[in-house]
Structure 1
């Protein structure tokens, strides 16, 4: 039997190392500093290889990265979809393979275009990476912005401030530029090319210092004082009982009690999570009256998530929606979710994943909304997103363009269990706040609920899987 030599296995190990390092930069691990050098092992692995071999090594990095970073998918499909473990892991690997295609293309074109051209490598790598990341993130149906490189720095506020101008993709560009610069500095040092060491290192440091300096300057700008109180209600309703008619009154009374508890701090808006009420609002007479009467009793508007059905002949199209009930008990605004969750609200790649829809009856296709509705509340304008939509910059920006002074994200993260997924969503929310320079509030059924300032600072976070009524003060 012939064993692989160290020279043959080294590129594979280096590619795997890059994938693991990338995964460790995101929640729950949050080793953010690793992002600035995570690609150096991969760059070393593809050096001197053919474009095809470089593409394979990029795919290996992607599979390691996304299999770890998206492992929460298994919790959803196994525990709530009743999918056998083997098939659940197969779905995870297929999803990781799909997202790894972009890393594969990155390594292929980087190797093909920049082989033995270090200056071009330094300039081209960040642009190529951001181009592919943008393509991956923006498709109207299959776009998947999760684990975009820039999100890894959500806690490093000076780094993410430039997202106001560049979006999250600018932060991704910077991280890749630093990775390329450090790699080429190290490579030039190995070759005793002191001139190129100085050039690559000085340019890399200069760009980084200027970027962080501008970020610090932005943080030092005078900010408006918080003057708008929002009560975030975290019902912590188990998924297993959420739609069980036996527990309907239990769920309704839980939200009533938590809402009344929050009234002690006199909020101007109450926010309940996605699909908070276990009935179809406007169709369920007593349930509809329950929400309207509570709004009148508390003299406070209630914004909440609820599914709705739209009759089209003999068929009913379901929508994941958000409603606004005014302090007078009037149903004023509605928003229908526009970007649906893969495997939760529609099944992607149906021809390939035919067994998922068959084995997971809780998954059903939903209709898509068409407009970023802005809700008028207490003299302010709120842009609403539902769950997964927080990951899409262009979608969230629509509400701000329509006049929203703050953003509201409602979610039901019970599907994810105690995994990294809900924390990864909060990380993406931090970039949405900075990109639009507006605060963001988030109410999630099982957490994490909380606020994000216009500078991207995550505050007022609740614990996972606890009841909570938290009143926060924001500055629209």
Structure 2
């Protein structure tokens, strides 16, 4: 006896091949997908639009030829990334912004092509749509997180969920699991809304059995609201008093570095004012004071004046200060972006220093400098920032800090390494003076996810804002304004539950990437057997 494979479900009329959405509609759906994905992210924060964007892009690319699906995915990517990354123009100009946006959009285009490739699988088993979309979105983000030049994870679905129920899932599988849930909700949404298309018509069939509609509606509700039932990690019982100092800069823009002494003085003055408040009994005595990235662009290990004023601030507040600074090296042009503990009485503790492990390409160092110099001589204006070689685990005495500098908060492994190394709280030192408030809000959303992911209370401290404390459920405390000076003091819980996400690390993401590859391979046989007339359909 020969077993015959089950027949494909009837998705059009008798004898008709599966049809994609008409091309003119598909382009509009791709544009709307990019808009929805953009508005879901800070500073807009309409998190519920993320599944909608996923569903719209899936509808546009389903059953399309691969090249056209790549183009539709790229259109959605450009609509998303060009405005999302506009703040990069303030520091780097329009060309790096355009190149970065196009590179990110192209990876979204590859995902669109993957969705088209998997169409026969979805046509045969409609219930796989949530699973398939969850997997391909995680795989797409895994690629963007790593390539090119070490990746740029901005705009992940997970980073749009700082106010959403799905944020709770970060404690169990990190950002990849949050992305999976959001994309799977989009998959349930498109499976619920999809209607078969008649050949030669732009009118979808309206008939739909009630059972699948109810099933997908229940799945969608579970995927969106279900994480509310998932508990987040509890924080530790022991506490330490931590102060954030946002000293502000004389003015926003690239030329703030020309006023670097004024920036340092701002942070010294704000710390001394805090010391006066402590002496008057109006503020608690801090166990640790945290200054932002670039709070001293003058190397205090080589400049005695800078060292003297920082020591003065530490002595006055009578607490260690985590100073964000730029350190020169013995090689001209080579620098280090570092956080270093500065103790009262004894000054800098060289053993408690963290050097940024992931400098930003084309901004903090120039890859392929000799090739780039053929295009413009401005590449030589970019200094060569060296990478650190160990996680930012700093012991101040009262508290062990997991130090993460600026964009590093977007990278899963860098943050996790500090927690594995014993960090009791997470501190993200950043400098948003060359960007804008939108970028700062996007970064704060990442800090909120990391606090939930690792069960560690966290803080973000910026030269100009936004600075804030964050709890282990992602709640924000004492958030500052933007382009203002601010000092905030809070009791922070030390340590807490080690989450499943911390223990598993990158394994959930790797498993989902592997399943994506299996699905792509599994669709090959179905594609060979499927009779397709997409060329005629898309020519209309």
Q: Give the TM-score normalised by structure 1.
A: 0.88
Aligned to 1:146: 154
Q: Please point out which of 19, 25, 33 is paired with 2:34.
A: 19
The verdict on how the C-alpha distance between 1:464 and 1:360 changes in structure 2, with shifts beyond 3 A counting, is farther
**CA–CA distance in structure 2, aligned partners of residues 39 and 278 of structure 1:** 42
1:34 aligns with 2:49: yes
Q: Please point out which of 376, 382, 388 is paired with 2:401.
A: 382
**CA–CA distance in structure 2, aligned partners of residues 208 and 240 of structure 1:** 42
- 1:304 match: secondary structure: strand
Contact 1:16 1:60 in 2 (8 A): yes
The verdict on how the C-alpha distance between 1:24 and 1:306 changes in structure 2, with shifts beyond 3 A counting, is same
- 1:66 match: secondary structure: helix
Q: Please point out which of 167, 171, 175 is paired with 2:174.
A: 167
1:73 aligns with 2:88: yes
Aligned to 2:273: 261
1:103 aligns with 2:120: no
- 1:322 Cα deviation (Å)? 0.9
Name structure 1 gaps, 5 residues minimum.
Answer: 1-5, 79-87
Aligned to 2:421: 402
Contact 1:296 1:329 in 2 (8 A): no
- 2:67 match: secondary structure: helix
- 1:430 match: secondary structure: helix
1:93 aligns with 2:98: yes
Contact 1:234 1:443 in 2 (8 A): yes
**CA–CA distance in structure 1, aligned partners of residues 39 and 387 of structure 2:** 34
- 1:454 match: secondary structure: coil
Contact 1:262 1:471 in 2 (8 A): no
Contact 1:242 1:278 in 2 (8 A): no
**CA–CA distance in structure 2, aligned partners of residues 288 and 16 of structure 1:** 53
Q: Which moved more, 1:195-204 or 1:438-447?
A: 195-204
Aligned to 1:136: 144
The verdict on how the C-alpha distance between 1:341 and 1:234 changes in structure 2, with shifts beyond 3 A counting, is same
Aligned to 2:77: 62
The verdict on how the C-alpha distance between 1:18 and 1:355 changes in structure 2, with shifts beyond 3 A counting, is farther
Deviations 1:33-79 (A, max 9, x none): 1112112222222233212211211111111111121111122234x
The verdict on how the C-alpha distance between 1:357 and 1:455 changes in structure 2, with shifts beyond 3 A counting, is farther
Deviations 1:138-171 (A, max 9, x none): 4594311111001111022x32112111101111
Deviations 1:384-413 (A, max 9, x none): 111111111210110110101001111111
**Larger RCO: 1 or 2 (CA < 8 Å, sep 6+):** 2
**CA–CA distance in structure 1, aligned partners of residues 412 and 140 of structure 2:** 15
The verdict on how the C-alpha distance between 1:110 and 1:251 changes in structure 2, with shifts beyond 3 A counting, is closer
Contact 2:146 2:152 in 1 (8 A): yes
Structural RMSD (CA) = 2.4
Aligned to 2:467: 449
Q: Please point out which of 208, 220, 229 is paired with 1:204.
A: 220
Q: Please point out which of 245, 266, 276 is paired with 1:233.
A: 245
Aligned to 2:385: 366
1:281 aligns with 2:300: yes
Contact 2:166 2:178 in 1 (8 A): yes
Contact 1:384 1:409 in 2 (8 A): yes
**CA–CA distance in structure 1, aligned partners of residues 478 and 157 of structure 2:** 25
The verdict on how the C-alpha distance between 1:392 and 1:226 changes in structure 2, with shifts beyond 3 A counting, is same
- 1:248 Cα deviation (Å)? 5.8
- 1:222 Cα deviation (Å)? 5.8
Q: How many residue pairs end up in the alignment?
A: 451
- 2:329 match: secondary structure: strand
Aligned to 2:478: 460
The verdict on how the C-alpha distance between 1:222 and 1:103 changes in structure 2, with shifts beyond 3 A counting, is closer
**CA–CA distance in structure 2, aligned partners of residues 72 and 432 of structure 1:** 23
Structure with max Cα Rg: 2
Aligned to 1:81: none
Deviations 1:88-133 (A, max 9, x none): 1x43222111111221121212211233232333322211211221
**CA–CA distance in structure 2, aligned partners of residues 354 and 249 of structure 1:** 32
**CA–CA distance in structure 2, aligned partners of residues 338 and 203 of structure 1:** 41
Aligned to 1:329: 346
- 2:442 match: secondary structure: helix
Deviations 1:338-396 (A, max 9, x none): 01123320235657754786236542221100101311123221011111111112101
- 1:209 Cα deviation (Å)? 4.2
- 2:384 match: secondary structure: coil
Contact 2:369 2:379 in 1 (8 A): no
- 1:421 match: secondary structure: helix
Q: Give the TM-score normalised by structure 2.
A: 0.78
**CA–CA distance in structure 2, aligned partners of residues 26 and 289 of structure 1:** 43
Contact 1:114 1:120 in 2 (8 A): no
**CA–CA distance in structure 1, aligned partners of residues 38 and 368 of structure 2:** 25
Q: Please point out which of 129, 148, 168 is paired with 1:121.
A: 129
**CA–CA distance in structure 2, aligned partners of residues 454 and 124 of structure 1:** 31
